[in-house]
Amino acid sequence: MATPIGNSADITLRALALLQRADLVACEDSRVTGPFLKRYGIQASLLPYHEHNAAKVRPQLLQRLRDGAVVALVSDAGTPLINDPGYKLVRDCIAQGIHVTALPGPSAVLTALSLSGLPSDRFLYAGFPPPKAGARAEWLAELKAVRASLVLLESPQRLADSLAAMADILGGAREAAVARELTKKFEEVRRGSLAELAAFYAGHGPPKGEVTLVIGPPPDQPEATAGDLDAALTAAMRQVPLRQAVDEVSAALGLPRKAVYARALDLRDRGQ
């Protein structure tokens, strides 16, 4: 069942009723869920179920369920299964014929998408980018051609670097929104192109609180051809220094900066 992502009033009547009658609440961290339940006067038996103990605890949970216990699965915040091992429990319940239902409610993913102002008719939730630059670049390259808005989670400390990589690989001109502290007092959505957002966070440092990122779909334009690239680079390099030309052209054509840079060096060496 979903629980609040910041504003403790975002809990449904149905969720409170189920938490009252559950025999067991499987939670990520009892230090988070305990105080939350206390706030609503609910005394429940809590069992931590998270990434690091999931394989060990899941058989116990399945046994309790087979014995007829009512088990509520919650995460620290938002909708379980969105970035936690909950799906493995649901999958095993289905395989074992154990009744499962879902109590919907808050999720940072849909809340950010709703507030982003970006197309919401088609979106891909992609979770957290890999923290290491090389793996992140490959991961972004796979997402580049997806014709949908992208919803990503990111830590505030890595946000500026991630945005720079996104501007480089997905194209600096792609529209995006950084949604911070959703449903909380200091809720804020900063909208702009990936290049603008990357520059903003590089200059201002990590934002306070939690962030979710939404990136609009790639522009509806045919892939730039090698001829388009050469023409754009040649024109830009006549006006501005090579690096600036590369930045401008990769953003305008939505091409990876690395590839545009290599081509620019080629053209320069051939004296074009």
Q: Could you say whether residue 212 binds ligand SAM (CB under 6 A)?
A: yes
Single residue of 24, 27, 78, 168 touching ligand SAM by CB under 6 A: 78
Does residue 165 touch ligand SAM according to CB under 6 A? Answer: no
Work out how close the CB of 78 gets to ligand SAM at its nearest, in angstroms, rounded to a whole number: 2
Nearer Cβ to ligand SAM, position 18 or 242?
A: 18
DSSP 8-state assignment for residue 164: H
Site stretch for ligand SAM (CB under 6 A), options 77-85, 91-99, 228-236, 261-269: 77-85
**What residue type is assigned to position 32 of the chain?**
V
Member of 12, 20, 30, 83 binding ligand SAM (CB under 6 A)? 83
116 interacts with ligand SAM by CB under 6 A:
no
Contact criterion met (CB below 8 Å) for 153 and 83:
yes
List helix spans (H) across 81-225: 86-95, 108-116, 133-143, 159-170, 194-204
**Residue 75 binds ligand SAM, judged by CB under 6 A:** yes
**If you write DSSP's letter for every residue of 35-97 in order, what string do you get?**
HHHHHTT----EEE--TTTHHHHHHHHHHHHHTT--EEE--SSB-TTTTSTHHHHHHHHHHTT
Specify whether the CB–CB gap between 162 and 127 falls below 8 A.
no
Is position 33 an interface residue for ligand SAM (rule: CB under 6 A)? no
Is 183 a residue that touches ligand SAM (CB under 6 A)?
A: yes
Please, which residue, 63 or 157, has the CB nearer to ligand SAM?
157
The candidate with the shortest Cα–Cα distance to 88, out of 127, 103, 96, is 96
Binding site for ligand SAM (CB under 6 A): 5-6, 75, 77-79, 82-83, 107-109, 153, 179-184, 210-212
